[in-house]
Amino acid sequence: MVICGAIVNLALMGYQAVQVVFLVRTVGITPGTVGPVLIAGSLGGILGATLAKSIGRRFGTARTDR
């Protein structure tokens, strides 16, 4: 399990490093805009994690899994 975790972390770090280069070179956003773009994605993940329990309680887990 430790080896699997290490491989996943290595892959995620590689992905994040390439993502910044992709956003600047291919997409064409400025380096100063990369930070807010990544922050927006992170805030979406935090918001989803915060609301998941209440959404599951309201609609039931079977309905939210589809």
Q: Residue 62: is its pLDDT beyond 60?
A: yes
Task: Give the pLDDT score at 63.
Answer: 60
Reduced to 3 states (helix: H, G, I; strand: E, B; else coil), residue 66 is coil
**What pTM, to 2 d.p., does this model score?**
0.63
pLDDT in tens, 5-39: 999 999 999 998 999 999 999 999 999 999 999 99
Task: Extract the tokens encoding 65.
Answer: 């899994």
Task: Give the pLDDT score at 13.
Answer: 93
pLDDT in tens, 36-60: 999 998 999 999 999 999 988 888 7
Residues 6+ apart with CB under 8 A from 44: none
